[in-house]
Every structure is written in structure tokens, then in C-alpha cells.
Amino acid sequence: MAPHPEAPRATRSAGLLGSFRHALRGLVEVAARERNMRLHLLAGMVVGVAGSELSLTLAAQLGLFLCVTLVLAGEALNSALEALVDLHTATVRSLRSRQPCWASAWAARRSSQRRLRARGSSSRSRCEA
């Protein structure tokens, strides 16, 4: 299928800049929502300032930068996975709330019968006797 002739064409640089814009927007959103990310960002800034003030070799400074970057990336991944799990459990909860009443009643009756048998009582309730 040919693209619409009047549609604007995305250039390679606009696509790359757009990708960086989206990535930066995602980092800002994670930092705004997650307390631990803010703490890691603060710790990363402290490490960056301390690393620049100390007389470290370039390799050591790059190592510090890599470590801070890995911690921030790990926290962003953790936040994304938590959001995914929250989304899934919300879906399961909404499906569970739609469970028919008869299924809940049946499950409650079965568990009460098991408790009565464990105590040595008959499985019939007092109303049925």
C-alpha cells in the first residue's frame, strides 16, 4: 500500500530525535511517580559530583557513570514491571468481580461443609435437620 501523497514524511533524524524525546519523557514520568527513582537520581548526582571533585582516572569516572546508569535503568525496568503487574492484577480483579453469585455461594458452602466435617459435625446445617 502506497503512503498518502499529502502525508508528511518522517525523516530519519526526526525519528531519532522523536525517540529521544519519548525516552526523556518516560524518564521524567518515572522520576515524578516513583520515590525510589528520585532517591537513585539524587544518589547518582552525589556520586557524579564526588567523582568529578576527586582525582579519578577517566576509566574510573566512566565506571562510575556506567554503574549509576545501570542502577537507573534497573529502577526504570522495575517500575515498568510493577506497572505491568498492577495492570494484570486489576484485570484479574475486575474479572473476578464478574463471577456469578452461584459460584461464590457454592464455594462458600463447600468450605463450610469442610469445616463442619473437621469438627466432627454432620454436613447438614441445623436448619436442614
CA 74 to chain CA centroid, nearest Å: 12
Q: Looking at the domain assignment, is residue 107 inside a domain?
A: no
60-90, pLDDT tens digit by residue?
Answer: 999 999 999 999 999 999 998 988 888 888 7
Indicate the number of domains in the chain.
1
Classify residue 25: in a domain, yes or no: yes
Enter the pTM of the model: 0.58
Burial 39-59 (b: 16+ CB within 10 A, else e): ebbeebeeeeeebeeeeeeee
The predicted structure's pLDDT at residue 127? 44
72 close to 34: Cβ distance less than 8 angstroms? no
Expressed as residue numbers, the domain containing 50 is: 15-101
Confirm whether 116 is domain-assigned: no
Complete DSSP assignment for 89-120: HHHHHHHHHTS-HHHHHHHHHHHHHHHHHHHT
